[in-house]
Chain A
Amino acid sequence: MATHRIAWTVVLAIVFTILGGLIRPVDERSGMPEELFWSRKMRWSADYDIVLAGDSRILASLRPTKMKEVLANHRIANFGFLGCGLSEAYLRHTRSLLDPNSLQPVIVLDINPSAMTPLTHKRNTYTVYAEKGVVETNQHLYLGGMFHFLRPYQWNRTLRDLGLEKTLTYARFCPDGSVVLGRDPENPRASEQTYRKRFVNNQVDPKLVKIVLNAVSAWSQEGILVYGFRPPVPETTLAIENQYSGFDEAAFVEKFARAGGRWIRTEAQSYRSHDGSHLRADAALRFSEDFARIMKARLPMAAAKGTYEMASSSASNPTAVSGLQRSETDSPLSW
């Protein structure tokens, strides 16, 4: 053995690696391989009628598959990223995903204070993926299965089984671009401390707000329907965010409407959060359906030119509601 140490080492390393992949502890990250999920998202092309953009809140709250049950002929992309800042590059990329032939292109923006703070922009997860080289992205696209098999162990579940960890957070990466987030045990107050700290020396920056409003204005002028909403979070989280971030929602909504956007008001009590920041899986499904219904009222029946039936004139030329209005339906969402 001593004379063939290297050969033996290679053989044993392969055996241990295969065994290691097979006997890995249960992962709290499931669904699609995570890196493949993000790499694919970065490679999406201009094929969509509706693009949902924002951070983890839109990722976890709007499920395109569920929305399609209501908006049948629309191609919907959830282009959210965890910890995403609404930067110029990100908004440009969001716009580029809309099909130029779409009859009524729509962008839905998740507006929350964190996405317009300097620190989020500095640590923008979108930028991390955007700056990955072609080679690295291709590795994940074409060798995603291998990388997934060789992913590092996640120990949280094991540590919790051993009594060393109290909570378990999990994520399921869905092929439609959304992510199901969860926490066990649930605690709708878990994020409060995080949000109290997040905005210390890191308040909403008017320059970053302007970037969003400029984009909304430019898109509206192009004929794109732009919706904005603040994903539902518990009242306490909302209050903390508003108090510490310096974000004036009413003033923002007014400017958003002036820029041509349409604001959808959400009622937090109707959708339960598992951690005080993101919706539970069942609440996300219900929210997606409600959201899609609200949108349906404003959208043409069909999307891509020549593919589906033509839209009605009233829908393709929305005249009403920009800004805030009460809904006439029973939905906890309102215009």
Chain B
Amino acid sequence: MLFHSFTFLVFAALFFCAWPLMRKRNASRWLFLVAASFLFYGWWRWEFLFLLLASGFLDFFAGLAIERFFRMRRLFLAISILGNVGVLVAFKYLDFLVGNLNALFGWASTSHQLGPYNLTLPIGISFYTFQSMSYTIDVYWEKIKPTRNPLHYFAYLSLFPQLVAGPIIRASHLLPQLTREQPTSEAQRWDGLRLITHGLFKKVVIADNLAPVVSQAFQADSVVGSSPFWWVMATMFAVQVYCDFSGYSDIARGLARWMGYDFPLNFNHPYIASSFKDFWGRWHISLTGWFQDYIYVPLTLSPWYRKYIYRPLKGHQRTSILGHPNLWVTLLISGLWHGAAWKFVAWGGLMAFYMHFEQVTNWPARLRRLPFGRIAVSIVLLAQIWVAWVVFVSPSLGRALEIIGTLFNFRLLNFWPIWTISEIALVAMSVSILREAYFFLKLDQLAWMHRRWRAQLDPAVVGLMIAGCIYLRGPGSAFIYFQF
């Protein structure tokens, strides 16, 4: 069920009509949440509910076993992690793996060729397996107590606003909220409506109007066009992917507000970041936090890392590539998480390189000291991010390199075929850029923005945005992050 579909509108209307009654009693609340979430997920393909159940029960029982059998807790944690990673590998990475094996051993087009198996990728599998794993790891680390009621666990794991595309929420954050009735105030409901409308607007008006133009350019048979054209295309994709994904997160957070729950912020204007470190603190915050807490920090604190990598290095070597293998490992895995293809690994590697280069040189701080330094930092930062997005969106690594070559092939006064870009897409892109510029220039912090008359205009603004979502929507497409 897509958030911007009529089916979901009906589903949400029925859910929120019944919710005030159902949330009052514990039993009915849990049951209602799980049933609604399963209906939401099963609407697409009901068979995959069994996978969700299997993955969920594995971690539910692993959590209990870790607490009950203290000496064997490592074993149960390993079972949980292997189970989840196994499900991910089977459904998401199997064809990628066998494709590489075939290429490596020269089996392609021979009788030894493995696969392809063409298994359907269950929507949201990367999100819910990560969320499920975080639960058992937190139980293992004794950050949380395992829940003894499977309904509680599945309400946490499958809560429909965040089930298929995040944010990835920790059990320590969500489970306590689910355990009691959360009455909603008028301010919360208003906040929820505002978030949902903004999210929908970002998705259906901005991202969906950009989608056909971006897709046509990047999926074309050959790379045609000048450097300015491809910079505009890279900007369009950057805006599209941001509005698509942050739009989903906004809608999820808004729905949660209406239910009386609080989901953490997942995107905080990443394109106005002042450094790469800052960027990763603003982009897909819940996933970045997951990788940081469950991969980066454990790697950094591991005795193995201390003994064999950190201690043998001298001071200046610790800031070189040798000193940060954990950063590279984390970002390469993050790249692979986004998709089963080498281009995603390359994207992760490029991001790791950016981060590492920044750590070694501290260039944003140095550049900021110059006149107009803040703007220069943003321009350099965004140019690097745009290049990384080109790798991300191109159909192959070879194509990405061709486009990157064109990006830096500056020829003055050659703008071809920039005038063929759809005007609607240009307007959508400009609206999004202006919105980010508004926050970059901190106009939201001006005094007049907080005057009473402005608050009174809010209903008209939100009302107009709702009508805008209806009439200005682009050709419908699924959320980009569903494929992850």
Binding site for B on A (CB under 8 A): 1-3, 5-6, 8-13, 15-17, 19-21, 24, 135-136, 139, 143, 147, 150, 152-153, 155, 159, 164-165, 197, 200-201
Q: Does B459 contact A (CB under 8 A)?
A: yes
Known: A12-B460, A15-B463, A135-B7. A3 touches B186 (CB 8 A): yes
On chain B, the residues within 8 Å of A159 by CB distance are 423
Contact (Cβ within 8 A) A6 B186: yes
Among candidates A2, A24, A147, residue contacting B455 with C-beta atoms closer than 8 Å: A2
Known: A16-B467, A135-B7, A164-B423. A5 touches B472 (CB 8 A): no
Contact (Cβ within 8 A) B462 A9: yes
Contact (Cβ within 8 A) B460 A152: no
Contact (Cβ within 8 A) A200 B190: no
Q: How far is the CA of A16 from the CA of B473 in the complex (A)?
A: 15
Q: How far is the CA of A73 from the CA of B423 in the complex (A)?
A: 49
Contact (Cβ within 8 A) B7 A136: yes
Return A244 CB to nearest CB of chain B, in Å: 12
Q: How far is the CA of A16 from the CA of B474 in the complex (A)?
A: 19
Q: How far is the CA of A10 from the CA of B460 in the complex (A)?
A: 9
Contact with A along B436-480 (1 / 0, CB 8 A): 000000000000000010011011101110110011111000000
Known: A12-B463, A13-B463, A13-B467. A6 touches B193 (CB 8 A): yes
Contact (Cβ within 8 A) B221 A197: yes
Contact with A along B217-233 (1 / 0, CB 8 A): 00001000000000000
Among candidates B190, B456, B471, residue contacting A24 with C-beta atoms closer than 8 Å: B471
Known: A3-B186, A200-B221. A8 touches B467 (CB 8 A): no
Contact (Cβ within 8 A) A201 B193: no
Q: A9-B459, A12-B460, A17-B466 are in contact. List 13 more A-B contacts (CB 8 A).
A: A6-B193, A11-B463, A12-B459, A13-B463, A19-B467, A20-B467, A20-B470, A24-B471, A143-B6, A152-B474, A153-B471, A155-B424, A164-B423
In the complex, the 8 A-B pairs of residues with the closest C-beta atoms, listed nearest first: A12-B463, A16-B467, A8-B459, A13-B466, A13-B463, A9-B459, A17-B467, A20-B467
On chain A, the residues within 8 Å of B463 by CB distance are 8-13, 15-16
Q: Does B189 contact A (CB under 8 A)?
A: yes
On chain A, the residues within 8 Å of B473 by CB distance are 152
On chain A, the residues within 8 Å of B6 by CB distance are 136, 139, 143, 147
Q: How far is the CA of A150 from the CA of B473 in the complex (A)?
A: 10
Among candidates A6, A139, A153, A164, residue contacting B472 with C-beta atoms closer than 8 Å: A153
Contact (Cβ within 8 A) A6 B190: yes
Q: List 27 A-B contacts (CB under 8 A).
A: A2-B452, A2-B455, A3-B186, A5-B186, A6-B189, A6-B193, A8-B459, A9-B458, A9-B459, A9-B463, A9-B466, A10-B463, A12-B460, A12-B462, A12-B463, A13-B466, A15-B463, A17-B467, A17-B470, A20-B471, A136-B6, A147-B6, A155-B424, A159-B423, A164-B423, A165-B423, A200-B221
